[in-house]
Amino acid sequence: MKHDTPHILLVNPWIHDFAAYDFWAKPLGLLTLASILRHHGFNITYLDCLDRFHPKASQADPYTRHGRGPYLKTKIPKPGGLEDIPRNFSRYGIKKKWFREDLLCIKKPDLVLVTSMMTYWYPGVQETIGVIKEIFPDVAIVLGGIYASLCHEHAQNYSGAHHVVKGSGEKHILKLASDYTGFSVKAKFNPDDLDTHPYPAFELQRKITYIPLLTSRGCPFACKYCASHFLNPKRMVRNPESVVQEIKYWHEKYKVKDFAFYDDALLVNAGKYAVPMLEGIIKSGLKVRFHTPNAVHIREISKQTARLMFQAGFKTVRLGLETTAFNIRNELDVKVTAAEFEKAVNSLKEAGFKKELIGAYLLTGLPGQEIKSIEDSIKTVRQNQVIPILAHYSPIPHTALWSRAVSSSRYDLESDPIFTNNAIFPCQDERFSWQTISHLNNLATG
């Protein structure tokens, strides 16, 4: 039987939160699946509820430094259980009316794919799916992504999607699309070999102000606060030359200047991967900038890697330090020692990085964490002439720290992922006060 080429709609949902900003945040996974589907002959439409450049938006040009920028926002009521948080709560992204109008303008799809990111952003996913159902009541909606993987049962019960998929999508997407549309194709790539995957379809966006790059999947470490192992149990690495080709592609075809690495442990095994990649970038002579919002692996910052990073054009260097309580850090992870931190910072400075370009993430709000230990970490980082950046801890199901987080929280974390929002410091006990947070913020920025 011959079928017309099916039409698949892919949607990046709204964010509901106390704060959100496009800090180089794009749905890389969803756009990878869009690219695969397109390469296999499916018709694709992409709607981005977080589009900062929607034609109906009055903001003249929300383009800011290095490609980042603010989302449009609409104040909405706080979710149940968080009414007492003394901050506004908003839907980040385009107006609901515009999303409805955009859906009405497109051809009725045969299947809708929706992605999800943070566990505590699920109300935005629910609302997005609700609007899609209103417009296309008889079209199947499949949900995947990080919330769908980490809170699978919750997503099955409450997201409104007809089907919820766990884990990486590459292996299943063609089968899934064929099951729903009857259009079956033979895979032209190997899901287990990243070098055979097509580039994510960033060109589906209205504007490309930066490109996220992923040079590997998974992480060789098993930090107790992190879900990387659960999300990507298998470590896979790209050929450094193919990463350089991808950077050239986006720069030459779309004039992209800013690139953000999304790797969990960029620089791990640097001699084999990052070093040849950085050398390739330098040799290509491209005038582009690199950012590491997801942090780099401190132990691998040597004089050589620091020099190459500087020459290649790294402009935002974030170090995954997490704490300087080095004596207790083995409880958390085994990523770095005090001497390694100092060595990394010295190498970066010697290579030419100014203080303003280097930030060290410090986890704040861990179960049982004493304020004094955060204050000490901030001081140590500042003494090293590096900017301390407080990364508020979000407890994540399927991590080693989850059960401790559940028992130390003043919320019932297991009852609702809304309570895993890092903005509410869910693992601080009853003595928690907003003054403490502003005191720590002042110390960090002071």
Residues that bind ligand B12 (CB under 6 A): 20, 23-30, 32-33, 113, 115, 117-120, 142-146, 149, 165, 168-170, 214, 226-228, 231-232, 262, 264, 293-294, 391-392, 394, 396, 420, 422
Q: Which residues contact 203 (CB under 8 A, 6 or more apart)?
A: 254
Would you say 68 or 343 has its CB closer to ligand B12? 68
Would you say 293 or 349 has its CB closer to ligand B12? 293
Would you say 210 or 343 has its CB closer to ligand B12? 210
Minimum CB separation of residue 318 from ligand B12 in Å reads 8
Would you say 29 or 124 has its CB closer to ligand B12? 29
Minimum CB separation of residue 45 from ligand B12 in Å reads 14
For residues 151 and 119, what is the distance between their CA atoms, to the nearest angstrom?
A: 7
Minimum CB separation of residue 407 from ligand B12 in Å reads 18
Four-point Cα dihedral 338, 344, 347, 348, nearest 10: -130
Would you say 247 or 260 has its CB closer to ligand B12? 260
Would you say 235 or 392 has its CB closer to ligand B12? 392
Whole-Å CA distances, 18 to 72, 91, 178, 363, 443: 13, 9, 39, 19, 22
Minimum CB separation of residue 304 from ligand B12 in Å reads 25
User: Is residue 94 within 8 Å of residue 51, measured between CB atoms?
Assistant: yes
Minimum CB separation of residue 51 from ligand B12 in Å reads 14
Would you say 231 or 424 has its CB closer to ligand B12? 231
279-316 burial by CB neighbour count: b if 16+ within 10 A, else e? ebbbeeebebbbbbbbbbbbbbbbeebbbbbbebbbbb
Which H/E stretch holds residue 214? none
Q: 211: helix, coil or strand?
A: strand
CA 118, distance to chain mean position in Å, is: 8
Minimum CB separation of residue 221 from ligand B12 in Å reads 11
User: Is residue 262 within 8 Å of residue 294, measured between CB atoms?
Assistant: yes
Minimum CB separation of residue 283 from ligand B12 in Å reads 27
For residues 287 and 310, what is the distance between their CA atoms, to the nearest angstrom?
A: 12
C-alpha atoms less than 13 angstroms from C-alpha of 70 in its C-beta half-sphere: 11
Cβ neighbours of 257 (radius 10 Å): 17
Please spell the DSSP secondary structure of 69-121, one letter per residue: BPPPEEE-PPPTT-TTSSS--EEESS-HHHHHHHHHHSPPPSEEEE---SGGG
Minimum CB separation of residue 296 from ligand B12 in Å reads 12
Minimum CB separation of residue 312 from ligand B12 in Å reads 19
Would you say 341 or 425 has its CB closer to ligand B12? 425
Q: Which residues contact 313 (CB under 8 A, 6 or more apart)?
A: 281, 286, 287, 288, 289, 290
Would you say 269 or 284 has its CB closer to ligand B12? 269
Name the nearest CA neighbour of 131 among 95, 89, 163: 95
Name the nearest CA neighbour of 17 among 120, 105, 112, 98: 120
Q: Which residues contact 26 (CB under 8 A, 6 or more apart)?
A: 202, 205, 210, 212
Name the nearest CA neighbour of 88 among 23, 19, 22, 21: 19
Would you say 193 or 350 has its CB closer to ligand B12? 193
Minimum CB separation of residue 204 from ligand B12 in Å reads 14
